């Protein structure tokens, strides 16, 4: 199994995303040269902080180049991996330029929405609205 990584700017930090053989995103972490939000980020180094200088040195931030960490080599992908912006990038990376009719994409940033969407899909009870969501809706 070949695992590839790409890197892009995300505000004042970088984001490294891991892809499997079928080019499905497997994980994505924000990082800088000093810190990483991955589970190994508390250690003196992690593979993401080891890769970031390689991406920077080759100027492969937000382009179609992917890094194979295990083999230490670069792979050039198609133009669909060039940096886009915001949610459109996530949709494009996942292959959903325009989701099929009846499919709604949601982000993982709202746990209540995520929970209720899954609950609706499997026929389970919805989560009652939290006080913070009630206040925001008013």
pLDDT of amino acid 89: 47
DSSP string, 58-108: TT-SSSSEEEETTTTEEEE--GGGS---HHHHHHHHTT-SSPPTT-----T
Question: Is 60 exceeded by the pLDDT of residue 135?
Answer: no
Q: How far apart are CA 56 and CA 60, in angstroms?
A: 6
How confident is the model over 19-75, as pLDDT tens digits?
Answer: 988 888 999 999 999 999 999 989 999 999 999 999 999 999 988 899 999 999 999
Per-domain residue ranges of the chain: 4-83
Q: What is the pTM (predicted TM-score) of this model?
A: 0.58
How confident is the model over 94-118, as pLDDT tens digits?
Answer: 554 555 666 666 666 677 887 888 8
pLDDT of amino acid 133: 52
């Amino acid at each position: 199994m070949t695992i590839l990584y790409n890197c892009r700017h995300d505000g004042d930090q970088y984001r490294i995303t891991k892809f499997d053989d079928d080019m499905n995103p497997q994980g994505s972490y924000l990082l800088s040269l000093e810190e990483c939000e991955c589970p190994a980020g508390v250690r003196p180094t992690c593979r993401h902080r080891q890769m970031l200088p390689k991406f920077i040195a080759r100027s492969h931030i937000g382009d179609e180049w992917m890094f194979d960490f295990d083999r230490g080599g670069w792979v050039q992908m198609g133009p669909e991996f060039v940096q886009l912006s915001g949610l459109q990038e996530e949709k494009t990376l996942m292959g959903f330029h325009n989701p099929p009719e009846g499919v709604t994409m949601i982000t993982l940033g709202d746990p209540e929405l995520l929970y209720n969407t899954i609950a609706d899909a499997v026929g389970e009870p919805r989560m009652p609205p939290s006080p913070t969501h009630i206040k925001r809706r008013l």
